[in-house]
Amino acid sequence: MSAANNRLGILLMSLTTLVFALQDGISRHLAGEYNTYLVVMIRYWFFALFVIALSARQSGGLRKVARTAFPWLQIGRGALLALEICVTVLAFTLLGLTETHAIFICYPLMIAALSGPVLGERVGWRRWLAIGLGAVGVMIILKPGSGVFSPVAAVPLLGALMFAVYGLMTRYVARKDSAQTSFFYTGVVGCVVMTAIGVFYWEPIAAPDWIWMGTLCVSGVAGHWLLIRTYEVAEASAVQPFAYLQLPFAAALGMAVFGETLRLNVAIGAAIVLAAGLFTWWRERQAA
């Protein structure tokens, strides 16, 4: 890949994180008015249509894309991501965008910590040190020993753990399945799971909120399309650090639109977690 391609990839990744941050803001608004399952279900309907349309255009069509060496793992990871989105959207309504994202960004450290026992990858002492430092950052955010720890802070932590396990499962199936196959199962299985849950929580949606719902669906499709384009034009290692931009974008949106505040301990803890995550990425790149 040329330097010019990597620059374009960085621009696309930055735009991707902005779109996903806006999507999170809309999700927070809608989940504050309606139940989380309904919001995520409708979002998945449009996402599944996008995935199926994209897969049908691949060489060999849907039949080839749907062929997998790990059918149960693919179904499991698709279901897990759908449930993780429900947990994270719930966290938005409980804690807001700023604090949810500040805690959620520890998921790359969880992936690094679990990649050894789960995938058999070697994790050196430097990365373990970064993982430990990241855990300290999370503790600073949560302040569990100060008497002000809120149990709801465990919700985004659970979401981060679920997303980390999803990431490990994605790495594992990538040993034999293509990215298109994994993307197909992500959308289709998630749609089936959320429909099976969400239909029992259907409630009337006000006309103005259908505009927000439509915007949410379009932003989801746009975000994934931008992400695909990012990895098509640039090296993954060159653009990955810029995925962390979703934290400041979401925090800015939370403070500007929802009146959230950035507490000092959250800012310090998030900075530590971010630094540890970037160091872990750098060590993985060096090892590769």
Contact assessment for residue 247 and residue 270, using Cβ atoms and an 8 Å cutoff:
yes
Read off the pLDDT band of 15 (50, 70, 90).
Answer: very high
Distances (CA, A) of 98 to 4, 62, 68, 222: 33, 39, 38, 23
Q: In three state form, how does the secondary structure of 195-247 look?
A: HHHHHHHCCCCCHHHHHHHHHHHHHHHHHHHHHHHHHHHCCHHHHHHHHHHHH
Q: DSSP characters for 242-275?
A: GGGGHHHHHHHHHHHHS-----HHHHHHHHHHHH
Mean pLDDT, residues 20-25 taken together: 94
Residue 118 is predicted with a pLDDT of 78
Assigned domain for 140 exists: no
Other C-beta atoms lying within 10 Å of the C-beta of residue 210: 11
Query: 124 vs 109, which has greater pLDDT?
Result: 109
Share of the chain above pLDDT 70, in %: 95
Residue 87 is predicted with a pLDDT of 96
Distances (CA, A) of 281 to 238, 239, 286: 11, 11, 9
Question: Which are the contacts of 3, defined by CB distance < 8 A and separation ≥ 6?
Answer: none
| Phi, psi for 175 (deg, rounded to 5) | -65, -25
Assigned domain for 42 exists: yes
Least confident segment among 2-11, 131-140, 154-163: 2-11
Assigned domain for 114 exists: yes
Read off the pLDDT band of 35 (50, 70, 90).
Answer: very high
The SS3 call for residue 147 is: coil
Contact assessment for residue 228 and residue 16, using Cβ atoms and an 8 Å cutoff:
no
Assigned domain for 141 exists: no
Tally of structural domains, the chain: 1
Assigned domain for 32 exists: yes
Q: How far apart are CA 23 and CA 207, in angstroms?
A: 19
Assigned domain for 158 exists: yes
Mean pLDDT, residues 252-264 taken together: 90
CA dihedral 108, 113, 114, 115 (to 10 degrees): 80
Mean pLDDT, residues 226-236 taken together: 81
Which residue shows structure tokens 């994180």? Answer: 17
Residue 147 is predicted with a pLDDT of 47
Tokens of 62: 């849907």
| Phi, psi for 273 (deg, rounded to 5) | -60, -40
Residue 120 is predicted with a pLDDT of 79
Tokens of 235: 């090296």
Residue 2 is predicted with a pLDDT of 56
Contact assessment for residue 9 and residue 234, using Cβ atoms and an 8 Å cutoff:
yes
Question: Is 36 buried (19+), middle (13-18) or exposed (0-12) by CB count in 10 A?
Answer: buried
Domain range spanning residue 29?
3-123+151-260
Assigned domain for 274 exists: no
